[in-house]
Structure 1
Amino acid sequence: MNHTGTWVRDSGITVTGPGDVYIGAVLQDSDKPAFRRFAEDQLRRLRYVLVAPPCMGEARAQLADSGTVILDGAPGSGRSAAARVLLHEHHRDSGAFHELVPGEEGELSLHDPALVGSGDQLLLDLSAADDSRWAAAQADLPALRKTVHEQRAHLVVIMPPYGVLDPDLQYCRVMLERPPGIGVFRRHLRLHGVPPEQYVRPDGTVTAFLTAKRPMREIAEFADLVRRAREAGQPGDGFGQWCEAAWRARNDGRREAAALVSKIREASQRALLIAVSMLHGAHADVVHRATQQLLSLLGLPPEGDSPLQHRDLAERLLEISATVAPNGQVRFEKLDFDSAVRAHFWDHMPDLRPHLGTWAGSVVELNDPHVVTVVRDGLVERVAGEYLRTGRADRLGNLVEAWSTGVTSRPRLEAAVHALTRGLADPAHARNIREQIYQWCAKRRLKGELAQVLVRVCADVLATSHPDQALVRLYHLARRERGTTRARQALYELVTRSRRLHRVLLNRLAHSDFSPANLGIFLQVSDPELLTLRPGNSHALVEEQSAQRSLTACWHAVLTELPPPQWQSEARRWLHCAAADTGPLGGLLLDLLVGAAQRCTEKRGTTFALLYACARDAERTGPEDAARAAETTGVLLHKISVAQGIAPATPTTSPRGTRP
């Protein structure tokens, strides 16, 4: 099982007022790079395990030559994995990977140049698109490819199977054929640490399995079953026995689970069966307490009147084909039987589903030394997996809400984060989960600590693959939060990692309603050190005309709409940065402040006076020497005088800059 390393901390709980999001301090100080590192590790693992399909070299050459390749192929042939590996091979520090999902809330259109940053790796997966969506994407591809070329980025498009491609794009198309199934199977076994000498000889079970032309995903799952059969097998078992066990688990598990449930009629034993399936591998103490909790939740009496009358746990486990290992871990005797039992109860007793979600929330809160992170995460993974397997992403969203509101706790909030992370990783339901997150962030009245959960998921999970969507969702959380600036801080940290996203956010703010919340966001994200940063040999964001327009518009709104105490400290930061800069950027910062103040028609004189007062304060508080600070104040005063028409605009080549 995969873990993201995201966690939360305890705190008090607050509740929303109408229309606002109040974020407490429960989800503090997560290990922010953890999920990004995890995502990068997954890509490296994918690159290792991928068996290059025929024509992979052609696709690699096409991407390197033109910056774009369009992958065609049959479903299950590994196009998605190949696309990600191709992009990973072009990973550079100056760019980022993100998946393009045109039409979703928070996504820029494909023809918008702001969609692509320098050196980005872009994936446009249209493998499931209908004809109209595919036609719309093709119409935008020329503009997108032009931007990709200008930004020295790379784009991989996965087209729908049997889709019709425009003649002008045919030269970008590469048909990927299905790689040999046996090679894929053996590569996964090698990744799992199975020695080659154990699987190089032909095996009838494997041959029968691969004859059906399985999708790459199914082959990977079968290889994992073989790995688990090897780990659980008896001494002396060989590769053939492991493969047979994997085959039986894959094909007979559901039937055997149904037979066992039909045989066991006692509620206490069925509760134990559910607990073992949901907590497979957990300590016996945890399984026992969880079983009692499930019975209590369902209003059922425990077994017997006295503990001395109870059948012991070993006897009860034996009845459901489970055992306790010497280390206390409870497992079914049959391979993968836990997933078969879960599926049976979930599919054939649907009235249990809401109770199981509530029960899982109480189990993760158990005060027991054996309820460790891997146990909690495993339980949440399995509950979320059942909701997604049965196509009920909406019910998973309801569960996340329930875990995040009312009397909550750190483990319960961790569970909510993990459940949403699981949903975002599911190819079939990720789009619905992203839409649900948007509705929460932008439109819903959030209660309890759900907003904190959303901040963490957007900042640490969604941002790794869909940064534009993460930005929009964090923006909505930030403009609605009260009593904290957690979402605003997460938004700021997101744009510090991407000049492209910083540019997009400034443009959004410049076209906003200039509410106090929006202006507060602007004052934080208009960090002058970030604006004047020149990574590598590139230009600074503040030198771009579009950014200058956004900054001037927002500063004008700040100077007009906010009382001076709310913006003077940020103005001093700009003045300190201007004093520290020995090139033209310092003067450019001053020009933007003066240009914004000049627009304050009726308050122009007062605003200029306030800026000058800020400059005098900055002389006393800045890190630069007094002479440099005084020079900056003099330059500012001259620019103000020019703006007022009381001083000549003398052209200069001084590094202090001129009026843009």
Structure 2
Amino acid sequence: MHTSTRVENPQGTMHTGSGNINLYVGAHTPDPGRPAFRRIADDHLAWLRRVLIAPGNMGNARAMLADTGSVILDGAPGSGRTSAARVLLREYHHDTGVFNELLPGERDELSLHDPALVEAGDQLLLDLSAADGPRWAAAQAGLPALRKAVHEQHAHLVVVMPHGGHLDPDLQYYRVEIRRPPGLSVLRRHLREHAVPYEQYSRPDDIVTEFLHELRPMRDIAHFADLVRRAHEAARPEEGFAHWCAAARNAQNDRRSEVGALVTGLREAPQRALLITVAMLHGAHADIIHRASDLLLSTLGPPPDKALLLQQRDLAERLKEITAETTPSGHVRFKELDYDAAVRAHFWDHMPDLRPHLGRWAARTVDLADPHLTMAVRDGLVERLAGQYLRTGRGEGLASLAEGWSSGPPSRTRWEAAVHALTCGLDDPAQGRGFRERIYQWCANRQLKGDFAQVLVQVCADVLASSHPDQALLRLYYLAERHGDSTRAPEALCDLVNSSRRLRRRLLDRLARSDPAPADLVIFLQNCAPEPLTEPAGTSRALVQEGGVQQSLSTCWRAVLAGLPRKAWQPHAERWFHHVAANPGDRAELLLDLLVGAAQQCGARRGAVFASLYASARDAERSAPGDPARASGTTALLLSKISAAQTLGPTEPSTASAREPRS
């Protein structure tokens, strides 16, 4: 068999599977020290479980979900109902099934009426807490069918309904109203998880009492706790809980006029460049702040004339001018908590011409070679810049920025920055849907430059798939079809399909929907392993026993046998023969029926295709594990099915003529 090797960037390797070997090196290879983005999503869910104070009626919701497989959560906004929904489903996370946040109405999302939406063991979240009346009414119409499929598949469904919305009488039984947990308990749980010493927050505090006097939403309490955590980390040894809370309260004040007055007093470009740099890289080491500040000036225009080195003001003096300081560990922070956020908002809102330059500067900054420029510092820079785009509703600008970062010369750090920027967009409650649609358009319709296709593979496989696997499936399919030779898309698609029978069924249906193109046939062969097709899940039939799956397999195999050379499909057919030999029975025998049925549809070429199948089965005997008699019995069974298909009657495999066919 002919093989080829492609070497691109000299930093690392990967192998894409059977067939020709393509070697991808460099920017396409994720840093082995970086946690997978999917694990980041899992870590966030684990964090929710740790900090959640069970709201009122959580026990009833848990019992309803256990008894019926479904629960409809109601509750006032800010009561923690959506976090409770995710935690409830997480308790049913097992080896089977996937977590799927249902998005009825979005592209490639199945209808709630479609039983194919649910597979055994799935954990389904339908968050309609912000839905308007028509959308909620449409969803209710589909809930009975969805609940039926959930019950049949032993899956679990949590619906979060709009507070005060009408609920059909037939669904009232499943409704549980979540009540807001005590605010002080929620705050203390967050502080405990933030490692704030218990003896500090166990005593009453006037600021905490004042803050909790109003019925704060859970997200506001979580934010306040995080501010206290940050104040604690930046505080001097003699400062205690009261000081941390005061700093957290002050950080919530509107500082626009204060920052505006500071900027007005800083007339020189180096001063403002340093102010912006500290705000965007807050907490970074002073060496990074110094280099990045100079880099911002050069990004904006020609560097200013510099005085002799020893005549220049040192960094400490310059930081004092902008109310920042260097900590004993060498890291730079503003003296006031959350002042960096106010500075970022000021420059973004009042100097709009600066925005495109910040994107170019960020790309140059993440490329700096410095031991202090850690992954956390790079990610923080990307998150802060993305935050400004998202805060002001400029998702399209953030998407274009991520595309530009990864469309130029290969750079691992820019590749990671682009992934992180798109992750921020997908996670934004207001603009996540827009980012999902943009990613679809990129994958399906756009010509992608540089590393951007690989960026999209990573985003779909690790970010989108963690909550919206159906959408990830479609986008990875397009990437594998159009960019399979230059990305990890085929491998990522296989990994995703291996996680769910439902996703495998959907991919096979997609591949068989029309005349498969050559790229589709390659994708099919990569995803037609016999084991997941023949293994039943729970009480369900095996996939190969489903009529729709049989039709998809037959259509794809016919196109493969008629359109590809034998050397392309023989290893995959041999794997089917080996499986039949090792697992005799009706389910495995269906694999032979499908192969023979597909060959029979090859028109004038069916005789040659039958001969190639038989020759492949004979070859498979030599490499079959286990009992050789079973392997030869599989070949005999195949030949009898071929003979029946040709209406020749049963034929023994020992005849000379039966041993000869090759193609």
Common fold, TM-score beyond 0.5?
yes
Secondary structure class of the residue paired with 1:101: coil
Aligned residue among 359, 362, 379 for 2:361: 359
Matched, 1:114 2:103: no
Aligned to 2:550: 548
How far did residue 9 of structure 1 move? Answer: 8.1
The one-character-per-residue Cα deviations of 1:603-652 (angstroms, maximum 9, x if unpaired) are 221211111121122223333454332222111111100111111599xx
Aligned to 2:28: 27
Distance 1:45 1:406 in 2: 37
User: How has the CA–CA distance of structure 1 residues 253 and 585 changed in structure 2, closer, same or farther, with 3 Å as cutoff?
Assistant: same
Aligned residue among 446, 460, 463 for 2:462: 460
Secondary structure class of the residue paired with 1:567: helix
The one-character-per-residue Cα deviations of 1:173-221 (angstroms, maximum 9, x if unpaired) are 1222222222211211121122333223332222222223221111100
Aligned to 2:323: 321
Aligned to 1:507: 509
Aligned to 1:596: 598
The one-character-per-residue Cα deviations of 1:512-562 (angstroms, maximum 9, x if unpaired) are 331111111111100123323456786532233322221112111222233
Matched, 1:422 2:424: yes
How far did residue 238 of structure 1 move? Answer: 2.5
Aligned residue among 617, 620, 628 for 1:615: 617
Aligned residue among 276, 281, 287 for 1:279: 281
Secondary structure class of the residue paired with 2:36: helix
How far did residue 280 of structure 1 move? Answer: 1.1
In structure 2, what residue type is equivalent to 1:432? G
How far did residue 359 of structure 1 move? Answer: 0.5
Distance 1:310 1:639 in 2: 88
Distance 2:326 2:642 in 1: 80
Distance 2:108 2:141 in 1: 20
In structure 2, what residue type is equivalent to 1:212? E
Aligned residue among 477, 481, 495 for 1:493: 495
Distance 1:356 1:33 in 2: 27
In structure 2, what residue type is equivalent to 1:28? T
Distance 1:375 1:103 in 2: 38
Deviates more, 1:607-616 or 1:250-259: 250-259
User: How has the CA–CA distance of structure 1 residues 425 and 24 changed in structure 2, closer, same or farther, with 3 Å as cutoff?
Assistant: same
In structure 1, what residue type is equivalent to 2:332? V
5 Å-filtered alignment, 1:49-448, equals 49-302=51-304, 304-448=306-450
Distance 2:175 2:484 in 1: 51
Deviates more, 1:85-94 or 1:638-647: 85-94
Deviates more, 1:126-135 or 1:537-546: 537-546
Distance 2:472 2:363 in 1: 27
Distance 1:121 1:574 in 2: 32
How far did residue 447 of structure 1 move? Answer: 1.3
Distance 1:463 1:500 in 2: 14
5 Å-filtered alignment, 1:646-657, equals 646-647=648-649
Distance 1:246 1:559 in 2: 68
Larger relative contact order (C-alpha < 8 A, sep ≥ 6)? 1
In structure 2, what residue type is equivalent to 1:225? L
Distance 1:183 1:154 in 2: 29
In structure 1, what residue type is equivalent to 2:318? R
In structure 1, what residue type is equivalent to 2:489? A
The one-character-per-residue Cα deviations of 1:21-47 (angstroms, maximum 9, x if unpaired) are x99653236769833433333222212
Secondary structure class of the residue paired with 1:105: coil
The one-character-per-residue Cα deviations of 1:52-110 (angstroms, maximum 9, x if unpaired) are 22222222222222211111122222111111111112222222211001111221111
Distance 2:199 2:29 in 1: 49
Distance 1:9 1:71 in 2: 51
Deviates more, 1:404-413 or 1:467-476: 404-413
CA contact under 8 A between 1:23 and 1:486: conserved in structure 2? no
Distance 2:196 2:203 in 1: 13
Secondary structure class of the residue paired with 2:603: coil
5 Å-filtered alignment, 1:605-644, equals 605-644=607-646
Output the TM-score relative to the length of structure 2.
0.91
CA contact under 8 A between 2:98 and 2:122: conserved in structure 1? yes
Aligned to 1:653: none
Distance 1:320 1:107 in 2: 50
Q: How many residues align?
A: 634
Q: Give percent identity, aligned residues only.
A: 64
User: How has the CA–CA distance of structure 1 residues 196 and 370 changed in structure 2, closer, same or farther, with 3 Å as cutoff?
Assistant: closer
Distance 1:302 1:469 in 2: 50
Q: What residue ranges of structure 2 are gaps of 5+ in the alignment? A: 1-7, 13-21, 653-663
CA contact under 8 A between 1:97 and 1:122: conserved in structure 2? yes
Distance 1:637 1:120 in 2: 41
The one-character-per-residue Cα deviations of 1:417-461 (angstroms, maximum 9, x if unpaired) are 111112222222211111111111111121111100000111111
Distance 2:9 2:316 in 1: 37
CA contact under 8 A between 1:23 and 1:483: conserved in structure 2? no
CA contact under 8 A between 1:23 and 1:481: conserved in structure 2? no
Distance 2:30 2:590 in 1: 36
In structure 1, what residue type is equivalent to 2:44? Q
CA contact under 8 A between 2:97 and 2:499: conserved in structure 1? no
